[in-house]
């Protein structure tokens, strides 16, 4: 197994029209969830990946399970619960280029994740454990599960990949800062966005941010700079990798997860630091070309075409 991840996936309702939700009458259903997004993107690139979580034993839970499994992600460790429901997310396209999100995930099935849900044998056969700062925000038991999973990974030589994914609708900044920075000590690969790094650390200079996480023990630091690309640091090597120009952005949600998948794909393929950054920027950019969290993620041939590495035959 190349990458294993865990966390909450949700049913996302995308409005048919812009405006406040009280005036929207139609929605398009899709799949969302940072961790499953990363795994779907990696599976499309040809990597072997697995996801574990909890879902409500309801129609929305079955929709999520079937959708993730259909993408080639192993879901053998997912548990379906009859007493808890599957989480929901509504997008609102109003007042901003980025959609506002409204969660209905309190007391969801995934919020009951605990250390008892971790199969140590399943986790330790992976090359990389990827997790985000969303999962520890779900509940105290889910937070304990994150620390346990990281402990198992470190003990068994599994690389630990961490996307802080700061979500202030789930917990306060003080709570988030304390837990995320503690978890950062264990991350071999860390990939904060520039804005969340500033909130967490109180600094905005990318080199200073990279210095901080390198001092904590991270081997690779990837700082997401949005449309400008990213700043990467690995040991003594550091570089800016410019982003790809997107003429018309459709939906930015899922771009950061696509970035994470591209970076991990480059690492798994033993590409150079710069090439891994190009993969990351490319998938992040392609994610914005389609509505839906994972709809725009490419297969490897499509990524090469987008990056200009392979000629696209249209007719």
Catalytic residues: 257
If we measure between CA atoms, which residue out of 263, 181, 265, 264 comes closest to residue 229?
263
Supply the angle between the helices 206-215 and 194-201 in degrees, to the nearest 10.
60
Q: What residue spans of the chain are helical by DSSP H?
A: 34-44, 59-70, 120-124, 135-138, 140-155, 173-184, 194-201, 206-215, 255-268, 273-287, 300-306
Check if the beta carbon of residue 219 is closer than 8 Å to that of residue 189: yes
- Which residue in this structure is represented by tokens 């994740």? 113
Secondary structure of residue 232 in the 3-state scheme: strand
* Largest distance between two CA atoms of the chain: 55
DSSP-H helix ranges across 191-254:
194-201, 206-215
Which DSSP letter does residue 241 get? Answer: E
**Which residue, among 251, 255, 256, 232, has the nearest Cα to 242 in the 3D structure?**
232
């Amino acid at each position: 197994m190349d990458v294993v991840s865990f966390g909450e996936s949700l049913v996302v309702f995308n409005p048919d029209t812009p405006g406040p939700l009280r005036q929207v009458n139609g929605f398009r259903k899709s799949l969302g969830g940072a961790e499953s997004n990363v795994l779907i993107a990696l599976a499309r690139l040809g990597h072997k990946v697995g996801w574990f979580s909890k879902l409500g034993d309801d129609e929305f839970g079955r929709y999520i399970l079937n959708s993730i499994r259909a993408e080639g992600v192993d879901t053998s460790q997912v548990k379906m619960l009859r007493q808890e429901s599957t989480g929901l997310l509504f997008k609102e396209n109003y007042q901003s280029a980025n959609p506002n999100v409204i969660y209905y995930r309190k007391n969801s099935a995934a919020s009951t994740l605990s250390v008892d849900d971790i199969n140590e044998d399943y986790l330790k056969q992976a090359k990389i454990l990827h997790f985000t700062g969303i999962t520890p925000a779900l509940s105290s038991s889910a937070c304990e599960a994150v620390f346990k999973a990281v402990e198992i990974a470190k003990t068994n030589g599994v690389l630990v990949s961490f996307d802080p994914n700061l979500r202030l609708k789930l917990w306060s900044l003080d709570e988030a800062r304390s837990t995320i920075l503690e978890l950062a000590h264990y991350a071999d690969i860390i990939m904060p966005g520039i804005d969340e790094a500033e909130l967490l650390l109180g600094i905005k200079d990318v080199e200073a941010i990279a210095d901080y996480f390198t001092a904590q023990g991270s081997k690779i630091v990837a700082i997401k700079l949005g449309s400008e690309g990213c700043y990467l640091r690995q040991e003594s090597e550091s570089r800016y990798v410019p982003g790809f120009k997107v003429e018309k952005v459709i939906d930015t949600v899922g771009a950061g997860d696509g970035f994470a998948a591209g970076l991990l794909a480059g690492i798994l393929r033993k590409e150079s630091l710069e090439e891994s950054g190009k993969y990351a920027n490319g998938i992040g950019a392609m994610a914005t070309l389609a509505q839906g969290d994972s709809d725009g993620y490419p297969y490897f041939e499509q990524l090469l075409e987008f990056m200009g590495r392979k000629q696209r035959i249209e007719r």
